[in-house]
C-alpha cells in the first residue's frame, strides 16, 4: 500500500489529443500528441491500439493522464505521460475504456 502522502505526489491532468497514429511494427501501440496547455505538446505511447483501431477518432477529445512519471522509451519512442484507462471484459476479449472528464475543461487542469 502507498501512503496518502505518496498518492498526493501523483499528478493527474486533463489533456486533449492533437494527433494519434499507429506505431510502426506494433499491433498494440498508438503514438499520441497531447496538449496539456504547456509550451509544447507531449508525446504519449500507449498500448490501446487493439481497442482504438481508428486512432483518428481520438483527436480533439480530452482524457486523463499521469503527467509526472519519468519519461519511458517504448519501441524507440519516448512516452512523456500515461493515459488512464480501465478494462471491460467481453465475450470477444477485453475492451479498453479511457478515463475522461464529464465536461470539457481547460487542457492541463489538474485532478483534485
Q: What is the pLDDT of residues 51-104, one digit of tens each?
A: 999 999 999 999 999 999 999 999 999 999 999 999 988 777 788 999 999 999
Backbone conformation region of residue 76, classed left if phi is above 0, alpha if psi is from -120 to 50, else beta: left
What local confidence, expressed as pLDDT, does residue 112 receive? Answer: 80
Give CA–CA dist 21/52, Å, rounded: 10
- What is the pTM for the complete model shown? 0.93
What local confidence, expressed as pLDDT, does residue 75 receive? Answer: 96
Domain ranges in the chain are: 12-98
The one-character DSSP state at 6 is H
Task: Tell whether the model's pLDDT for residue 108 goes beyond 90.
Answer: yes
CA–centroid distance for 80 within its chain: 10
Q: Which CATH number is correct for 12-98, 2.40.50.140, 1.10.600.10, 2.60.40.1260, 3.30.300.20?
A: 2.40.50.140
What is the tens place of the pLDDT at every residue in 12-37? Answer: 999 999 999 999 999 999 999 999 99
What local confidence, expressed as pLDDT, does residue 93 receive? Answer: 77
What local confidence, expressed as pLDDT, does residue 94 receive? Answer: 83
What local confidence, expressed as pLDDT, does residue 58 receive? Answer: 98
Amino acid at each position: 500500500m502507498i501512503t496518502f502522502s505518496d498518492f498526493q505526489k501523483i499528478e493527474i491532468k486533463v489533456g486533449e489529443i492533437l494527433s494519434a497514429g499507429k506505431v510502426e511494427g506494433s499491433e498494440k501501440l498508438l503514438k499520441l500528441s497531447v496538449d496539456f496547455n504547456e509550451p509544447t505538446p507531449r508525446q504519449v505511447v500507449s498500448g490501446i491500439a487493439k481497442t482504438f483501431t481508428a486512432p483518428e477518432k481520438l483527436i480533439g477529445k480530452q482524457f486523463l493522464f499521469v503527467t509526472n512519471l519519468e519519461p519511458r522509451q517504448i519501441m524507440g519512442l519516448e512516452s512523456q505521460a500515461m493515459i488512464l484507462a480501465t478494462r471491460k471484459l467481453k465475450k470477444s476479449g477485453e475492451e479498453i475504456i479511457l478515463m475522461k472528464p464529464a465536461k470539457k475543461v481547460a487542457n492541463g487542469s489538474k485532478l483534485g
